[in-house]
Amino acid sequence: MGEQLRLMAVHAHPDDESSKGAATMAKYVAEGVDVLVVTCTGGERGSVLNPKLDRPEIWEQMATIRREEMERAREILGVRQAWLGFVDSGFPEGDPLPPLPEGCFGLESVEKAAAPLVKLMREFRPHVVTTYDEDGGYPHPDHVMCHKVSVAAFDAAGDPDSYPEYGEPWQPLKLYYQMSFSLPRVRALHEAMLAAGMESPYREWLEKWDPARDKSHRITTRVPCAEYFEVRDDALRAHATQVDPDGPWFHVPLEIQKKAWPTEDYELVRSLVERSDNEDDLFVGIRHLARM
């Protein structure tokens, strides 16, 4: 029996783990991989996006409710989960943009914010880490900070001179950016909906999409996980304040999704093992090491 494979997925808020890479995690859990979701903030400043729950008492208990939602999603996905303990920055809106609130995650120094993640990496000892790209997936300050902290912790966790107070060094072998939306994927889903005689929720989005900003050329890894799309959606619905069950997230029938785009996609950005730019598995180059 070899060493159990371990995957760490670092996210900004509770609910991000269920909208970004959730089917991949469910697939690996089913295969016996030990999966840990790391949630950087408590999501305290999140909005209530489900109109059925937009009530004063929900807003007043947001921090508690989001922890409860995270626990339900964690159980559905079958993963472990850890909080880094930082405070949600909120999404600044307006012109000019208002300053971020004092004490929030987005204003922490990367060195300080990476420390608890380094500690977790050394304790959990992941072979693979996933997070967001340099734009955070979208320009929320917590997503951008999540990217910075994840990269810094990946590089520091194996360095005995970095954060020596946080345990024995452990170097993860691969770091991926989760590439949730690409122009080819959205176009494929759009065209599949039209071919089925259904209205596409992506028409306006595609009309406004600047092809120069598409990152699909950076995708190195496509993980087949269509059979776990139901699990992904159930986990997302567990974040009831954050997702409208009648909203656009769920407009494309699962059977169409499974046929049009049956993978979740990633960019391999760090690798300490032999790399390939046409992968179908986050553990390429690692599985044989775990069996040794």
pLDDT for 249 equals 85
CATH of the domain at 158: 3.40.50.10320
**Could you tell me which of 188, 191, 206, 196 has the C-alpha nearest to residue 261?**
188
With respect to residue 250, please indicate whether it lies within any of the assigned structural domains.
yes
pLDDT for 288 equals 82
Asked if 53 and 62 touch (Cβ cutoff 8 Å), the reply is no
**Could you tell me which of 144, 129, 246 has the C-alpha nearest to residue 177?**
129
Spell out a b/e string for 212-230, using b for 16 or more CB atoms within 10 Å of the CB, else e: eeeebebbbbbbebbebbe
Q: Is residue 16 annotated as involved in ligand binding?
A: yes
What percent of the chain is modeled with pLDDT above 90? 87
Backbone angles phi, psi at 255, to 5 degrees: -65, -35
Q: Is residue 143 annotated as involved in ligand binding?
A: yes
pLDDT for 128 equals 98
pLDDT for 291 equals 58
With respect to residue 127, please indicate whether it lies within any of the assigned structural domains.
yes
pLDDT for 282 equals 98
Q: Domain residues for 51? A: 6-181+216-255+262-290
By the 10 Å C-beta count (0-12 exposed, 13-18 middle, 19+ buried), 56 is classed as exposed
pLDDT for 1 equals 38
pLDDT for 273 equals 95
By the 10 Å C-beta count (0-12 exposed, 13-18 middle, 19+ buried), 8 is classed as buried
With respect to residue 275, please indicate whether it lies within any of the assigned structural domains.
yes
With respect to residue 238, please indicate whether it lies within any of the assigned structural domains.
yes
pLDDT for 179 equals 96
Asked if 121 and 157 touch (Cβ cutoff 8 Å), the reply is yes
Asked if 232 and 78 touch (Cβ cutoff 8 Å), the reply is no
pLDDT for 248 equals 84
Where the chain has pLDDT below 50, the residues are 1, 292
With respect to residue 63, please indicate whether it lies within any of the assigned structural domains.
yes
With respect to residue 210, please indicate whether it lies within any of the assigned structural domains.
no
AA identity, residue 208: K
Q: In this structure, what token pair is assigned to residue 243?
A: 């997702």
With respect to residue 19, please indicate whether it lies within any of the assigned structural domains.
yes
Domain count, the chain: 1
pLDDT for 144 equals 98
Q: Is residue 140 annotated as involved in ligand binding?
A: no
Rounded distance, CA 172 to CA 8, Å? 9
Q: Say which residue the tokens 């690798």 belong to.
A: 271
The tens digit of pLDDT for each residue in 193-203 reads: 999 999 999 99
Backbone angles phi, psi at 23, to 5 degrees: -65, -35
Strand partners, 174: 128, 271
Backbone angles phi, psi at 60, to 5 degrees: -70, -25
With respect to residue 198, please indicate whether it lies within any of the assigned structural domains.
no
The tens digit of pLDDT for each residue in 137-151 reads: 888 999 999 999 999
